[in-house]
Amino acid sequence: MLKQQQILPLIFAETERLQDFIGAQAQALLIPSLQDWARPASSMTVCLYGASGSGRTHLLRAAAGCAAQGGASVQYVSLRDHELRPEVLEGLEVNTHICLDDLEAVLGRADWEWSLFALCNRMRTSGHALLIAGRDLPRESCTLHDLGSRLMAGLVFRIPALQEAELRQLIRRLAAHQGWALQEEVIEYLLVHLPRQAAAIQHQLREIDRYALQHQRPVTLHLVREVLRRRGEEPA
């Protein structure tokens, strides 16, 4: 017997905002489309795909938060959770907006694909909004052809990796959120020693912030080196 599965309510973080996502394509097309998706009466289907660390999860959670702030009933589910079973998708269509993240974790598995196909059909019948994200285009990973067509029936956006200038902008913006004024040497150091992925940079800056607060110290190059050395990001 399957153990009871529970999806926790979305917790919206103030730092996860659509307008904070960096990238030329994002500002021109992607962000306005996600803002439209988040409207209470939306029935849009939107598909995002891109490499790990490109910011897909930030976009899904930010769009979900935007919809929730507008009064919609929203559910965000990461399909990377290995304890989940396809049955977890049953009944999700009662929410007006659903976000399914990490699609690559379940595509290619017949039980999941049929459950996703049924959910897509129920969402379309209900006139509700679906936002999905994964590493690859769904039609390249689905064994169920009709599911690939359903998932790509609406808007499709590729999320490219950030370029160096955009990574610098991201670091400055995240630092400003924390109340830091980073020196250029600190930014250079972070770019050299951290993976060039938005998610990895966000995670590491949160670690630096916690360490600085714990020790009541300003964020300097010495402190950043100390944190990365403790985490094994930099050779001793």
pLDDT for res 152: 92
Q: CATH for 164-230?
A: 1.10.8
pLDDT for res 89: 95
Name the token pair of 28: 């021109």
Q: Does residue 1 carry a pLDDT above 50?
A: no
For residues 52 and 236, which has the higher predicted lDDT (pLDDT)? 52
Name the token pair of 233: 């990001």
- For residue range 190-207, what is the model confidence (pLDDT) as tens digits? 999 988 888 788 889 989
d(CA 106, CA 189): 37
d(CA 67, CA 85): 26
- For residue range 94-129, what is the model confidence (pLDDT) as tens digits? 999 999 999 999 999 999 999 999 999 999 999 999
Rg from Cα positions in the chain: 19
Please tell me if the domain spanning 18-158 has the same topology as the one spanning 164-230. Answer: no
d(CA 45, CA 121): 11
pLDDT for res 97: 97
Helix orientation angle between 164-178 and 198-215, rounded to the nearest 10 degrees? 30
Judged by DSSP in three states, 39 sits in coil
For residues 230 and 154, which has the higher predicted lDDT (pLDDT)? 154
Beta bridge partners of 15: none
The domain segmentation of the chain, as residue ranges, is 18-158, 164-230
pLDDT for res 179: 87
Q: Does residue 5 carry a pLDDT above 50?
A: no
79 Cβ contact list (under 8 Å, min separation 6): 100, 101, 102, 103, 105, 106, 112
199 Cβ contact list (under 8 Å, min separation 6): 52, 53, 54, 55, 57, 58
Confidence band for 14, pLDDT divided at 50, 70 and 90: low
pLDDT for res 15: 55
Per mean pLDDT, which of 16-25, 136-145, 225-234 is the most reliable?
136-145
Burial of 52 (0-12, 13-18, 19+ CB in 10 A): middle
Q: CATH for 18-158?
A: 3.40.50.300
Q: Cite the beta strand spans of 22-89 per DSSP E.
A: 45-49, 74-78
- Residues 53, 198 contacting (CB under 8 angstroms): yes
Phi, psi of 45 (to 5 degrees): -115, 125
pLDDT for res 40: 94
- For residue range 151-194, what is the model confidence (pLDDT) as tens digits? 999 999 998 888 888 889 889 988 888 888 889 999 999 999 98
Burial per residue of 91-119, b for 16 or more beta-carbon CB atoms within 10 angstroms, e otherwise: ebbebbbbbbbbbbbbbeeeebbebbbeb
- For residue range 29-81, what is the model confidence (pLDDT) as tens digits? 899 999 999 999 999 999 999 888 788 888 999 999 999 999 999 999 999 98
